[in-house]
């Protein structure tokens, strides 16, 4: 399989990203702009993974079974689920169907226009002007109309062991939800189509603004988060007056490294003495900024996720209510993601809001070291105190 080119950024999802992402074409994704007003998340569920698409008025979900889940490096919306690759993307209708140029605005017409638009991007990206549909037709799944379509990969792409790309698309609100899988040389088209349809059949439409912490509770139940094993923080107390935040470093192995500024953002970096070698650096960074007075924590957290490009898999969501955090106006995410060197990371990402100041606390390490360091991180999270900004 051909891997995408490296992203110049190499930071945890939701964390501070300075710079911009290059547009990448991987095995499944065509070149289209991500919607600025919608968001895509992947939450760990009891069955595997729940894909949540969010827009201001509501959202939708689809769920796929899997024992092992891994995000594809630098490919938002593409995941390995056991030995299967699955794409889940959301496209605004306005991206491909302007009111003045869209001839057929019926549900079927919009899906066909989207299909043709996607196919045009594939032709351009693969350098194959003659790329054409192999199959296309309507499918009804759980009272929802989907458009199934596929195309054969060019012969030059056969080295990737992919014969065709199979797609299912449906309209959700003012977007098109697109599911895609590759048809490998050793697979059968009916088998892959059945898999796609099984995921599509789980579609649920959310008609109200989405609270992802509540969604996570429906997946795991509202059981309280338990820090295992519990231990007190023993390091120095760090008081960041300009952010209005205080916390205790987990142990004497942690030290302050530097303060940085990026425009209106202030960042404080902390580093742990390596458990193995320099490649396994474990970091904590804290950023803060002024926010709008009308924002609540859900709004601020959603803004951070969208601004910084949420990626990876959300394994757990913590709040004061479920026992995982001390600050009242805060929400935290345990996220697994893959860096440019194909190493898996586990991060704690905490968003906090107080008196017009927004804060983000990020602790990151490689996944193989996570269980060793988890007691330290849990200890630090329990000491977080929002004191009020001096800025």
Residue 290 neighbours by CB distance under 10 Å: 12
| Residues with Cβ within 8 Å of residue 197, at least 6 apart in sequence | 139, 141, 168
Q: What average pLDDT does range 360-388 have in this prediction?
A: 88
Residue 8 neighbours by CB distance under 10 Å: 10
As a CATH number, domain 39-210 is: 3.40.1000.10
Q: What average pLDDT does range 257-263 have in this prediction?
A: 91
Return the SS3 of 354.
strand
Q: How far apart are CA 284 and CA 166, in angstroms?
A: 42
pLDDT at 19: 25
Question: In CATH terms, are 39-210 and 223-386 the same topology?
Answer: yes
Torsion of CA 200, 157, 10, 354, to 10 degrees: -20
Return the SS3 of 381.
helix
For the chain, the domains span: 39-210, 223-386
- Percent of the chain at pLDDT above 90? 30
Q: Give tens-digit pLDDT for 134-192.
A: 889 999 998 899 999 999 988 765 556 888 999 999 999 889 999 999 998 888 999 99
What are the Cα distances from residue 40, in Å, to 51, 77, 197, 283, 306?
7, 8, 20, 26, 9
The DSSP code for 64 is E
Query: What value, to the nearest 5°, has the Cα angle with vertex 147 and ends 142 and 152?
Result: 130
Q: Which residues sit opposite 347 in a β-bridge? A: 335, 364
Q: How far apart are CA 59 and CA 51, in angstroms?
A: 11
Whose tokens are 């439409």? That residue is 205
Among 7-11, 95-99, 232-236, 334-338, the minimum mean pLDDT is found in 7-11
Q: How far apart are CA 148 and CA 137, in angstroms?
A: 5
Which is higher by pLDDT, 18 or 355? 355
| Residues with Cβ within 8 Å of residue 325, at least 6 apart in sequence | 318, 319, 331, 332, 350, 381, 384
Say if pTM beats, i.e. exceeds, 0.75. Answer: no
- The pair of structure tokens assigned to 233 is 């923080």
> Which architecture characterizes domain 223-386 according to CATH?
3-Layer(aba) Sandwich (3.40)
Q: Exposed, middle or buried, 258 (CB in 10 Å: 0-12/13-18/19+)?
A: exposed
Kind of pairing between the strands at 84-92 and 133-141: unpaired
Q: Give tens-digit pLDDT for 306-364.
A: 787 666 888 888 887 766 677 888 999 999 888 777 788 899 999 999 888 999 999 99
Residues belonging to the chain: 391
């Amino acid at each position: 399989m051909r891997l995408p080119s490296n992203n110049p950024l190499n930071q945890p999802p939701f964390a501070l990203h300075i710079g911009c992402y290059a547009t990448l074409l991987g095995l499944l994704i065509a070149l289209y702009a991500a919607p600025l007003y919608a968001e895509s998340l992947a939450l760990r569920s009891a069955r595997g993974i729940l894909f949540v698409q969010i827009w201001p008025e509501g959202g939708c979900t689809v769920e796929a079974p899997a024992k092992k889940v891994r995000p594809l490096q630098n490919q938002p919306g593409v995941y390995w689920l056991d030995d299967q690759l699955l794409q889940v993307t959301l496209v605004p209708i306005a991206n491909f169907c302007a009111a003045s140029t869209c001839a057929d605005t019926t549900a079927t017409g919009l899906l066909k226009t989207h299909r043709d638009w996607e196919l045009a991007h594939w032709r351009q990206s693969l350098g194959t002007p003659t790329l054409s549909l192999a199959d296309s037709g309507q499918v009804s799944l759980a009272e929802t109309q989907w458009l199934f379509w596929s195309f054969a990969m060019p012969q030059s792409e056969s080295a990737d062991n992919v014969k065709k790309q199979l797609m299912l698309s449906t309209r959700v609100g003012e977007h098109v939800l697109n599911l895609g899988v590759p048809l490998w040389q050793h697979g059968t088209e009916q088998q892959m189509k059945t898999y796609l349809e099984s995921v599509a059949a789980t579609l649920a439409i959310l008609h109200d603004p989405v609270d992802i912490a509540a969604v996570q509770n429906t997946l795991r139940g509202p059981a309280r988060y338990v820090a295992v094993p519990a231990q007190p923080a023993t390091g120095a107390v760090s008081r960041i007056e300009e952010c209005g935040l205080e916390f205790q470093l987990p142990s004497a192995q942690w030290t302050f490294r530097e303060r940085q500024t990026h425009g209106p953002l202030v960042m404080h970096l902390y580093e742990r003495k390596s458990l193995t070698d320099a490649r396994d650096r474990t970091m904590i960074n804290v950023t803060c900024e002024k926010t709008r007075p009308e924002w609540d924590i859900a709004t601020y957290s959603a803004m951070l996720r969208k601004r910084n490009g949420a990626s990876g898999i959300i394994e757990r969501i913590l709040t004061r209510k479920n026992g995982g955090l001390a600050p009242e106006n805060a929400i935290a995410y345990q996220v697994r993601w893959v860096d440019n060197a194909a190493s898996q990371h586990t991060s704690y990402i905490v968003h906090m809001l107080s008196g017009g100041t927004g804060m983000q606390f990020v602790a990151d390490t490689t996944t193989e070291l996570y269980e060793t360091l988890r007691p330290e991180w849990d200890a630090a999270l329990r000491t977080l105190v929002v004191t009020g900004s001096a800025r």
